[in-house]
Amino acid sequence: MAVDSNYLKMLPDEIFPARERSAWANRLDEGASPGYRFLMLLKHMLPPLVAFVVFIGGWELIAYLAKAPVYLVPKPSDIVAAAVENKHALWVSVTTTTLEAVLGFFLSIIMGVAGAILLASSKWIEKSVYPYAIILQTIPIVAIAPLIVIWFDAGMNAIVIITFLIGFFPMLSNTLIGLNSTDQNMSNLFYLYNANAFQTMWRLRIPAALPYIIAGLKISCTLSVVGAIVGEYIAGIGGGAGGLGYAITYAAARLKTAYLFACGLSASALGISFFLLVNAFSKWVLSSWHESEMKKDS
């Protein structure tokens, strides 16, 4: 297994701290052998792996010794067996929820960034509209979900709208903060060069707001998975095309606790996958110029 410095740089800080990651990346770039690279990577990934093995092993052992019924406290092996036994239904549920989450997420990006640009273009518009965006965010989604179902019918449309509403405000708020945090000296420079409002927004304010936009993406991407599952609870459809929300409801109603755990872990894995993709995008966009992602000397 060959591990290069680019792979090391993609690891989240929670797994491999930035300072140590940078030092090892520099050593890898100097031409260390693949075996040495793998050993160095394993050294830093071993503690969380050991903790995971101890936790799962302890859970398995305690549940076995306590002879707890599967419907009450399933062992990890029972969860894996339930996932394998229902792999087709679980895969359909995951793909359905993924599609709903992605559609709602992209809709929240488009509407959130566009709305923030509109609000940032005029203080009068911002003062007039932004309070209502806050009010919309404070209304529980379950309170307006019946209206969404009435207007858009139950199923994919309503679920995507619910997902969008949950992920919209982080995108709007973070982008607006970024657009309003443009360096004043740079704004004055653009003014001296007679740049119009569109040029200032497109060439200065939006690029300067990219770290804030990506911060909004990191929040919204995980909320989109939550929103899709909540939407499936409220407005989802059952049967073979149901998402993880329907699968969780189905498993809980029939006391299939092991399968319930499998569905919950699948939802967690989906959220983590979304976050890692956005994190990789952040490194690709910001690593060459922004302090948050630039490689730091140890």
What is the chain's mean pLDDT, rounded?
Answer: 86
Highest mean pLDDT among 8-22, 96-110, 131-145 belongs to 96-110
What percentage of residues in the chain have a pLDDT greater than 70? Answer: 85
Residue 16: is its pLDDT beyond 60?
no
Number of DSSP helices (H) and strands (E) in the chain, helices first: 14, 0
- Note the pLDDT of residue 55: 93
Is the pLDDT score of 218 beyond 90? yes
Give the pLDDT band (50/70/90) at residue 1. Answer: very low
Residue 90 pLDDT: 94
Would you state the torsion angle of the CA atoms of residues 92, 98, 103, 106, taken in this order, to the nearest 10 degrees?
A: -170
Residue 133 neighbours by CB distance under 10 Å? 18
Q: Taking 60 as the threshold, does the pLDDT of residue 5 lie above it? A: no
What is the set of domains in the chain, with CATH numbers?
5-66 (no CATH), 77-286 (1.10.3720.10)
pLDDT of 42 strictly over 90:
no
**Which pLDDT band holds residue 298 (cuts at 50, 70, 90)?**
very low
pLDDT digits (tens, 9 = 90+) for 133-182: 999 888 888 888 889 988 988 888 999 999 999 999 999 999 999 999 99
Mean pLDDT of 108-115: 96
Whether the Cβ atoms of residue 76 and residue 196 lie closer than 8 Å to each other: no
10 Å CB burial of residue 70 (0-12, 13-18, 19+) is middle
Q: Could you read off the pLDDT of 228-249 as tens digits, one per residue?
A: 999 998 887 665 678 999 999 9
Is 21 a residue whose pLDDT tops 70?
A: no
d(CA 287, CA 293): 5
Query: pTM for this one?
Result: 0.82
- Three-class SS state of 140: coil
Helix 87-120 × helix 210-235 angle, to 10°: 130
Per residue in 60-94, pLDDT tens?
999 999 888 988 999 999 999 999 999 999 999 99
**pLDDT higher than 70, residue 13:** no
R_g of the chain computed on alpha carbons: 23
